[in-house]
Structure 1
Amino acid sequence: MPEAIWISFAFVLGLLVKGIGLPPLVGYLAAGFVLTGLSSVSDITAEPTAVLAHIAHLGVLLLLFTVGLKLKLRSIISPEVIGGSLLHFGITCVVFTPPLFWLLEVDWLDAFMLAVALSFSSTVLAAKVLEGKRELRAFHGRVAIGILVMQDLIALVVMSLAAGKTPSEWALIVFGLPLLRPLLYKLLDASGHDELLTLLGLLLALVLGGLGFESLGLSSELGALVFGAILANHPRSQELSKSLWSVKEVFLVGFFLQIGLGGMPNQEAIVFAVVAALVLPLKGLLFYFLLLAFRLRARSSFLTSLSLANYSEFGLIVASVALPEWLIPLAITVSLSFVFSAPANRFSHAIFERVAKKISRFESDKRHPDEQPISLGDTRILVMGMGRTGTAAYDWLVPNEPRVMGLDSDPAKAEKHREQGRNVVFADAEDTTFWEGLHMPELNSVILAMSDIEGKLIAARMLRKLGFRGYIVAHTMYADEAVKIREAGANDAHLTMNETGVALASHLMDRSEAHHQMAQVRNPV
């Protein structure tokens, strides 16, 4: 049974690469190539089947649907997203086409289509890496996803032109999809918190989004993304995303396995992939300087560019339509870019710290919405991370200490809190430039309520480095993380579930004590 062999190899190699600090998806890619190699010298079956292809496709649809659930339309309709994506596409095609024509001895159309395929960045890899670091809602994460969505739209146009097909006349129906939002909201509210919620997500992502858009002659991937985006503003959108997490992760294993099982490359394909990998830094540099031109800060430009410095699975789709003979070389190219890009993005913040002084001199002096505060004013208590935990802490503190400020790395979330009357501003704790020159004359306490451990560690270290001697407290789910947070400089780190249990017990004791006092009043001795 080939599926059993695939699962076994994927698990073993995924576990191995995770042990050396790489994302498991690199192991899944390697598993596919190893199986392909073993099939030539043994009886192991490594031919990708229709079942695996279907599972892989479902994984991509679910990933894009969950990305859509976290996507705000205004993060796409911005100069840096539209201008950056279109300019990068145009410049890449102009620069890459002549060398490909001369070096590969292909005609101009094939050279141009290869340049188009290499111009795209991987939505699957970038979204998965950003999601794993919980940076999809950070400013640079939303810019990266916006550019990827624009690239996907460009790819759809290119594929339609290459295939000589046009969308159905019924495709205009999609412009009326926002009218369905009230109905979809009611369905989401009525689905509860169990399996019906997961089924609703599968229905919207795979049936209405995937199959529905395909029937209109449009991309199923775009359909899944659109239906996710329609629900992005619903209060339970993140609960829906979490309910699909495990299903999506399992299906995505099939996607990465399928790439590796596509076949062993010949020498020419390997040379092509290696050369394409060597020019990846140029792709990232072009994104970097284009984003700087749109007045993004050096850090936002760098992190966005690094997440886009890879080649795309959409390039393979374009090749399958226009350049089928180049499918294997492009598959190796995409896979090799994943191997380089995944670990680089894992250490993106540390890399930026090392190169910040050298590359920040290109930064524009003009202001941009992602610019962060340089003074906390008379703030006495700082709450970093305004999710559910941070918001609860903020609301509890304000009646007793009005000089409280909240910080969050999502500008849209910060704006929403301000509309509700809270003193919350945009700031990214993982941005070392935020800490440089930060003025906090009255600050005496800090609550680290960010969702990711990396942000808490950086914040604790930078606060102590700046000479802050006040009280720093954090929460975390795991005991080993609590130790790291204390070592980074925090006075204490409480385990979230333990504190929840203590809070419940204290409520019970308070109620018991009140009941006991009432009984004494009614029945005095």
Structure 2
Amino acid sequence: MSEALWISFAFTLGLMVKSIGLPPLVGYLAAGFALSGLATFTPITVENTAFLDHVAHLGVLLLLFTVGLKLKLRSIFSTEVIGGGLLHFVITTALIAPGILLILATDWQTALLLAIALSFSSTVLAAKVLESKRELRAFHGRVAIGILIVQDLIALVVMSITSGEAPSPWSLLVFGLPLLRPLLYRLLDASGHDELLVLLGLLLALVLGGTGFDALGLSSELGALIFGAMLANHPRAVELSRSLWSVKEMFLVAFFLQIGIGGLPDQNALIFALVAALLLPLKGALFFFLLLAFRLRARSSFLTALSLGNYSEFGLIVASVALPEWLIPLAIALSLSFVISAPVNRISHTLYERYSRRLTPYEGRRRHPDEQPISLGDTRILVMGMGRTGSAAYDRLAGEEANIMGLDSDPAKARMHLKAGRNVVFADAEDTTFWAEVKMPNLKAVVLAMSDIEGKVIAARQLRHKGFNGYIIAHTMFADEAALIKEAGANEAYLTMNETGVALASHIDDYMSRNHRPH
């Protein structure tokens, strides 16, 4: 009976929320609280069972594993990630703890732990939003995930101290995990493309990463993330991530349901959550100015700050260990932050485009190495987005046009293309500051091959706004998106599947004309 109610409420409210332009996860949260209310005010029994807890935990592990698959660990060890994460934690805790101590009249230990719980940002929400927008490898996405990992490590230390349990001496074996990378690569190569590939992902995320790390007294979440990161450089890492997508999404529904089913809040819990929600803009502003201090541009600082402007599920985990009586207020604060943060992040690029003139004056004169402005020089054809489609277009055009350049928002991908002999540089086509500074005197044609619709629309609009009168072409999966791209200024926006069919037919045409001409 409980499972039927969970599925029914999750689908109904998820669909309702999606219909008004919000992410379905907001509906899943609402479904959890609706189920809790149903159990409170009707004879129907709805409870947070061990099964739901287990499925929710599996969803989080799979999400973190897929995040790890797209994560370059070298990008974490940077000054803006470590410095920004640690400074934000220290400043936030130092400011919030005295306020809690005075206003709520708690003891200092409770105030400190509550402040620590509120200082964390949600790895689940940020990763899900960045992944849905395909920005995990964009510069601001890598900074956000790096800071979240720093916060998660702090949370693990806090939980270890408050629980009084130390990791097993065998946990030192974790430092030998890099030695397993060749074996993991072989397993991934041998797994094929079907159910064995999915099972390998489940084995690494849930068994070796989850259960294995848990047995060593370490965080199972950290284990799933590490095992994913160990495969991030493998050519089939993206395929593995896609193969786990449906399983991960289904299990994550349980995570969001679980938050609401925990119980309905009383008046004090609601007041606490509302006050905590009012602090979210300050939390985001602190991230923004700290990242500016580390020489990031206003755009990267703004998008990273929006990704981190919420509260964390790790706060609930910390509370479950040290402050069980505060679980409901923190759960409401977390849920409310999700409701605010998810739709805001959905329009993050549009918001920056609107307020960029007010934000850019805060930038320093020195720039981060990953964010230097570029000139297109003699480039006549520009390909934006160097994934599979962009790379194929680049290679086809490079045979006839010497002055061609590719842009990609993933620095690692740009370096990979450079090594392969392509003229590709790092730049984010959705960055309005990039468009304000870039010089393109000889540009004649642009291919928009980015993965997300928002990027194509912004790029087309910015090109026309800059006075570009050349040819702009794009591809997309859906007719309504094609209309939006053309409305923004593109000359043509072709449907990907239609063009694939045309390309296949042209190959047949060529074959028939060469080999079966009438005599």
Range into which the TM-score falls when normalised by the shorter chain: over 0.9
Matched, 1:239 2:236: no
Residue identity over aligned pairs, in percent, reads 74
TM-score by length of 1: 0.98
Between the aligned partners of 2:355 and 2:390, the Cα distance in structure 1 is: 32
> Is 2:113 the counterpart of 1:116?
no
Contact 1:297–1:370 (Cα < 8 Å) also in 2: no
- In structure 2, C-alpha distance between the alignment counterparts of 1:456 and 1:87, rounded to whole Å: 35
Write the distance in 2 (CA, Å) between the matches of 1:390 and 1:320.
Answer: 47
**Alpha-carbon distance in structure 2 between the residues aligned to 1:139 and 1:434:** 13
Q: Tell me if structure 2 keeps the 8 A contact 1:140–1:303.
A: yes
Match of 1:157 in 2: 157
Render the CA deviation track for 1:388-435: whole Å, top value 9, x for unaligned. 110111111112111000000111111111121111111111111111
* Residue in structure 1 matched with residue 270 of structure 2 by the alignment: 270
Aligned match of 2:435 = 435
Distance, in Å, in 2 between the alignment partners of 1:214 and 1:305 is 31
CA distance in 1, matches of 2:32, 2:21: 20
Distance 1:339 1:101 in 2: 27
Partner of 1:450: 450
**Counterpart in 1 of 2:67?**
67
Structure 1, 19-28 or 370-379: larger mean CA deviation: 370-379
Measured in 2, the distance between the counterparts of 1:482 and 1:348 equals: 21
Q: Distance in 2 between matches of 1:141 and 1:219?
A: 23
Pairing of 1:449-468 with structure 2 (within 5 A)? 449-468=449-468
Q: Is the 8 A contact 1:35 1:44 kept in 2?
A: no
Query: Is 1:47 paired with 2:47?
Result: yes
Give the drift of 1:372. 4.2
- 1:474-493 alignment to 2 at 5 Å? 474-493=474-493
The 8 Å contact of residues 29 and 256 in structure 2, kept in 1 or not, is answered as yes
- Whether contact under 8 Å (2:382, 2:404) holds in the other structure is yes
Q: Distance in 1 between matches of 2:257 and 2:77?
A: 35
**Gapped runs of 5+ residues in structure 1?**
521-525
Query: Which residue of 1 is the match for residue 10 of structure 2?
Result: 10
The Cα of 1:374 is off from its aligned counterpart by 4.0
Of residues 37-46 and 407-416 in structure 1, the stretch that sits farther from structure 2 once superposed is 37-46
1:6-60 CA distance string (max 9 Å, x none) = 1101101001111111110000000011111121221222211000000000000
- Quote the residue 1:207 is aligned against: 207
Deviation at 1:130, TM superposition (A): 0.6
1:370 is paired with a residue whose SS is helix
CA distance in 2, matches of 1:351, 1:512: 53
Task: Name the structure 2 match of 1:19.
Answer: 19
Partner Cα distance (1:20, 1:475) in 2: 26
Residue equivalent to 2:281: 281
Question: Do the aligned residues in 2 keep the contact of 1:380 with 1:404 (CA within 8 Å)?
Answer: yes
Which whole-Å CA distance do the structure 1 matches of 2:260 and 2:324 have between them? 17
Mapped partners of 1:406, 1:315: distance in 2 = 42
Code of the residue aligned with 2:87 in structure 1: it is L
* Alpha-carbon displacement from aligned partner over 1:73-125 (angstroms, at most 9, x marks no partner): 11100000000101111111111111111111111111111111011000000
Unpaired runs of at least 5, structure 2: none
Give the structure 2 partner of residue 367 of structure 1.
367
CA distance in 2, matches of 1:46, 1:408: 48
Q: TM-score, normalised by structure 2?
A: 0.99
Aligned to 2:497: 497
Tell me if the contact between 2:373 and 2:437 (Cα under 8 Å) persists in the aligned partners.
Answer: no
Is this contact kept in 1: 2:120–2:311, CA < 8 A?
Answer: yes
Q: Could you tell me whether the CA contact under 8 Å between 1:22 and 1:342 is conserved in 2?
A: yes
In structure 1, the residue matched to 2:412 is 412
Q: Distance between the aligned counterparts of 2:499 and 2:468, measured in 1?
A: 26
The whole-number CA distance in structure 1 between the counterparts of 2:136 and 2:493 is 25
2:123–2:148 contact (8 Å) kept in structure 1: yes
Deviates more, 1:161-170 or 1:413-422: 413-422
Which whole-Å deviations, capped at 9, do the CAs of 1:356-398 have from their partners, x for residues lacking one?
A: 2222211111021232434210000000000011011111111
Distance in 2 (alpha carbons) for counterparts of 1:238 and 1:350: 28
1:354 Cα offset (Å) = 2.3
Paired AA for residue 110 in structure 1: T
Count of equivalent residues = 519
Rounded Cα–Cα distance in structure 2 between residues aligned with 1:14 and 1:453 = 22
Counterpart CA distance in 2 for 1:41 and 1:324 is 24
Tell me the SS of whatever aligns to 1:436.
helix
Distance (Å, rounded) in 2 between the aligned partners of 1:189 and 1:43: 53
| 1:94-243 superposed matches below 5 A | 94-243=94-243
Letter in 2 for 1:126: A
Contact 2:382/2:407, CA 8 A, preserved across alignment: yes
C-alpha contact 1:375 1:440 (8 A) present in aligned 2: yes
Q: Distance in 2 between matches of 1:127 and 1:194?
A: 25
For residue 389 of structure 1, what is the amino acid of its counterpart? T
CA distance in structure 1 between the aligned counterparts of 2:502 and 2:344, rounded to whole angstroms: 41
| Structure 1 moving runs of 4+ over 6 Å | none
Report how far residue 274 of structure 1 moved.
0.4
Q: Secondary structure at the match of 1:209?
A: helix
CA shift for structure 1 position 269: 0.5
Partners of 2:209 and 2:8 lie apart in 1 by: 32
Counterpart residue type for residue 366 of structure 2: K
State whether residues 280 and 310 of structure 2, in contact with CA within 8 Å, keep that contact through their aligned partners in structure 1. Answer: yes
1:197 touches 1:243 (CA, 8 Å); kept in 2?
yes
Deviation at 1:180, TM superposition (A): 0.5
Distance (Å, rounded) in 1 between the aligned partners of 2:137 and 2:374: 22
Secondary structure at 2:143's aligned position in 1?
Answer: helix
Structure 2 residue identity aligned to 1:503: A
Report the equivalent of 1:385. Answer: 385
Distance in 1 separating the partners of 2:465 and 2:287: 32
Residue type at the aligned position of 1:183 = L
- Please list the CA deviations of residues 250-287 of structure 1 after superposition, one character each: whole Å capped at 9, or x if unmatched: 00000000000010011111000000110111111111
Q: What residue identity is the alignment partner of 1:305?
A: A
**More displaced, 487-496 or 177-186?**
487-496
Q: Distance in 2 between matches of 1:437 and 1:359?
A: 16
Distance 1:372 1:495, change over 3 A: farther
Partner of 2:82: 82
Which whole-Å CA distance do the structure 2 matches of 1:379 and 1:320 have between them?
57
